[in-house]
Amino acid sequence: MQPFEFHYGPRLVVGPGASRRLGEALPQGRCLFVTDATVRALGLADAALAGLAAAGIDPVIFDAVEADPSRETVAATVAAGQGCTSVIGFGGGSPMDVAKLAAYLIATGEDLDGLWGVGKATGARLPLALVPTTAGTGSEATPVTVITVGATEKRGVSSAALVPDIAVLDPELTLSLPRAVTAATGIDAMVHAIEAYTSARLKNPMSDMLARQALTLISANLIRACNSPDDVEARGNMLLASHLAGVAFANAPVAGVHALAYPLGGHFHVPHGVSNALMLTHVLGHNMAAAMPLYAELGALLDPSAATLGRQGQAQALIAHLDRLADAAGVPRRLSALGIGAEHLDLLAAEAMKQERLLINNPCPIGEGDARRLYEAAL
């Protein structure tokens, strides 16, 4: 066996209504509660806030986190949280990402510009709890946060200090998700699992096990959650799958699909799950020669009818299964449907090359010409 390291992640609390128990895990005093305006308007945080008050914790609410949050938003969150003794991130990936950095920066007073990249945040943060309201980003399980710098560039901080103390998976919080969000975030989680399973760096038996279980759960529950949005069991299974995929890619990092997805979000504000879905099968096709044995394993896992096929047939069965799943879920499949045309290909390809921390994890190289070709195929 090859030597490896594995980090399990936060304490996990799972179940309907679990978010009401947040106060049990945090210290007394003021708590910075990071969320967004939509979560507040829908009342998703009401029960959690009431539970905090009952536990003697005074929440300081910051609900101005936007999609693709900016470094200015991080700074405003840190300013709002001065004097707080703990932090909660409550919402989709954006509030959770901002909460991670706020918990660290409030405690250490460090400059965000010194933290970009891997392993730069080595100080001690405030106690941190994360509560996802979508089943896809897995941010509650990972050491990664992604922030928009300037108008379009996405930069990441990846350090163990950003892994929360506690993650709460409450399926009741996801019952109001629109179909489009359910579909896109579900595909996002699937990409996390696939890229962790095929990562060129740090792939290991533990991350493989979690990625396979995540893929099995998503394959069985995504369309069920889309078609029956009040199905608590399906919603819970999707939240668990998202978390397992998050733990997997926290240890075996994601790669080319994400590298090509980020410019779509940065320049055209395509939701992250949608951008991953748009590029997924094209990047897998590019990787096929290098990753065929691993794709074959996943193809046989997700499509039992492919078990009698050869390795290439099983690998192709994976891509066909993903195509069927994305079509059934209803996620956009073409860049042109989102207003992205041939005139944008050079820009996108150049921007993808900036994602070096992701590209090094891909099973085979993706150069600028490759990226342009893959974007063109997705038009």
Statement: residue 150 has pLDDT above 90: no
Per-residue pLDDT tens over the stretch 319-363:
999 999 999 999 999 999 999 999 999 999 999 999 999 999 999
Specify the pLDDT at position 151.
Answer: 81
- 332 phi and psi, to 5 degrees? -60, 145
Q: Which one-letter DSSP state was computed for residue 70?
A: B
Specify the pLDDT at position 65.
Answer: 97
Specify the pLDDT at position 337.
Answer: 94
Determine the Cα–Cα distance for residues 171 and 179; give it in Å rounded to an integer. Answer: 15
Determine the Cα–Cα distance for residues 154 and 63; give it in Å rounded to an integer. Answer: 21
Is there a common fold for 11-173 and 177-378? Answer: no
Determine the Cα–Cα distance for residues 197 and 249; give it in Å rounded to an integer. Answer: 8
Q: Which residues contact 364 (CB under 8 A, 6 or more apart)?
A: 286, 287, 289, 290, 291
Per-residue pLDDT tens over the stretch 54-95:
999 999 999 999 998 999 999 999 999 999 999 999 999 999
Determine the Cα–Cα distance for residues 374 and 379; give it in Å rounded to an integer. Answer: 9
Q: Any idea where the domains of the chain sit in the sequence? A: 11-173, 177-378
Specify the pLDDT at position 219.
Answer: 97
Residue 152: pLDDT band with limits 50, 70, 90: confident
pTM of the shown model: 0.95
Specify the pLDDT at position 242.
Answer: 98
Determine the Cα–Cα distance for residues 25 and 4; give it in Å rounded to an integer. Answer: 31
How far, CA to CA in Å, does 159 sit from each of 119, 166, 310, 335? 5, 16, 40, 33
Burial class (CB in 10 A: 0-12, 13-18, 19+), 113: exposed
Statement: residue 266 has pLDDT above 90: no
Statement: residue 153 has pLDDT above 90: no
Specify the pLDDT at position 1.
Answer: 78
Residue 134: pLDDT band with limits 50, 70, 90: very high
Determine the Cα–Cα distance for residues 260 and 349; give it in Å rounded to an integer. Answer: 8
Statement: residue 99 has pLDDT above 90: yes
Whole-angstrom Cα Rg for the chain? 20
Specify the pLDDT at position 129.
Answer: 98
Tell me which amino acid residue 278 is.
L
CATH number of the domain located at residue range(s) 11-173 in this protein: 3.40.50.1970
**3-state DSSP assignment of residue 196:** helix
Structurally, at CATH architecture level, domain 177-378 sits in Up-down Bundle (1.20)
Per-residue pLDDT tens over the stretch 200-251:
999 999 999 999 999 999 999 999 999 999 999 999 999 999 999 999 999 9
Statement: residue 12 has pLDDT above 90: yes
Residue 154: pLDDT band with limits 50, 70, 90: confident
Residue 2: pLDDT band with limits 50, 70, 90: confident
Determine the Cα–Cα distance for residues 197 and 137; give it in Å rounded to an integer. Answer: 17
